[in-house]
Amino acid sequence: METNGLLFAIGRTGGRARRVAGGVSTSDVLVSAHISGNADVFPEILALHVPAGSTVADVTWGKGVFWQKVPRSRYNLKATDIQMGVDCRSLPYDNHSIDCVVLDPPYMEGLFRKSEAHMAGGGTHSAFRANYSNGKATAEGGPKWHAAVTDLYFKAGAEAKRVLRPEGTLIVKCQDEVSANRQWLTHVEIINEYERLGFYCKDLFVIVRTNRPVVARLKKQEHARKNHSYFLVFVNTTKRKYRTAQRSRHPRP
Ligand SMILES: C[S@@+](CC[C@H](N)C(=O)[O-])C[C@H]1O[C@@H](n2cnc3c(N)ncnc32)[C@H](O)[C@@H]1O
């Protein structure tokens, strides 16, 4: 009998049923840490967590780098970005209509400024700005600095919750950052907030840069220079066991 990828042999010992787990010994498994690029790892994450034929909304499409090595016929892909006029905080999809949402908004506070002149990635770094943000200044009155980063992740997470079907998948790319000389573990902030929203963090991948980062104008190093980022995989859960686990992790005041 094959159940969930495991083979069970049902036998009898002294009149009692005996269950023997089958399966194969292999090292051919997807691992959690990769010294690699997004375009190589993302297809493997999809293969593990998102069944072929699923409707997938990539809501921060950018240049579509994530999808470079994913066969187009595999998913019903809906690609949007603020640069196409679609804000990931207000998606044009019905409630519970999407199987998987992919979210990769700008991850560093330097890309959220009230003036384009003050944004990170000016001058010779303009390609960085073009790849990682929409290149536009942030509206007056919103949160500032690192809080502007998490505000977008949190609001986009709530919108993903609305459009995802129950048990649907949310794949989030993020990176921690040092801002105002303080360490911000963005991936932890996102996991905590999304679990409050009703997601279960099912998997976590660490992506390590293949090249060494160069620091311009270093005076005194205070924190390790980040050369890794994350893919987080969440399940839009309605299951009681996950909600109970969340409550014990985040008791209400
Ligand atoms: C890090 S890039 C995404 C790269 C993309 N994953 C790829 O594979 O090419 C961040 C993207 O978020 C988009 N963005 C920024 N704010 C947004 C918003 N409020 N709604 C939707 N997209 C947004 C930017 O235009 C930019 O294309």
Q: What residue has token string 């997938």?
A: 56
Cβ 134 under 6 angstroms from ligand 1: yes
Residue with CA at minimum distance from ligand 1 atom 19: 87
pLDDT above 70 coverage of the chain, percent: 75
Between the CA of 9 and the centroid of ligand 1 the distance, in Å, is: 50
Residue with CA at minimum distance from ligand 1 atom 2: 132
* Residue 203 reports pLDDT greater than 80: yes
Between the CA of 106 and the centroid of ligand 1 the distance, in Å, is: 6
φ and ψ of 77, to 5 deg: -95, 130
Mean pLDDT of 145-156: 95
Q: Which amino acid is at 249?
A: R
Contact 195, 239 (CB under 8 A): no
Give residue 15's region: left, alpha or beta (phi > 0; psi -120 to 50): left
Residue 147: which residues within 8 A CB-CB, separation 6 or more? none
Between the CA of 184 and the centroid of ligand 1 the distance, in Å, is: 21
Contact 241, 169 (CB under 8 A): no
Q: What is the pLDDT of residues 227-242, one digit of tens each?
A: 999 999 999 997 655 6
* Residue 58 reports pLDDT greater than 80: yes
- Which one of 41, 46, 134, 177 would you pick to mutate in the ligand 1 pocket, going by the greatest count of ligand atoms within 8 A of its CB? 134
More confident residue, 19 or 79: 79
Between the CA of 34 and the centroid of ligand 1 the distance, in Å, is: 23
- Reported for 61-67, long-range contacts at CB under 8 A and 24+ positions apart, including other chains, are 62/104, 62/131, 62/132, 63/131, 65/38, 65/39, 66/38, 66/39, 66/42, 66/102, 66/104, 66/173, 67/42
Sheet containing 2-3, strands listed edge to edge, beginning at the edge strand earlier in sequence: 2-3, 6-13, 16-21
Q: What is the pLDDT of residues 93-146, one digit of tens each?
A: 999 999 999 999 999 877 665 556 555 655 555 555 555 555 565 666 678 889
* Residue 160 reports pLDDT greater than 50: yes
- How confident is the model at residue 42, as a pLDDT? 98
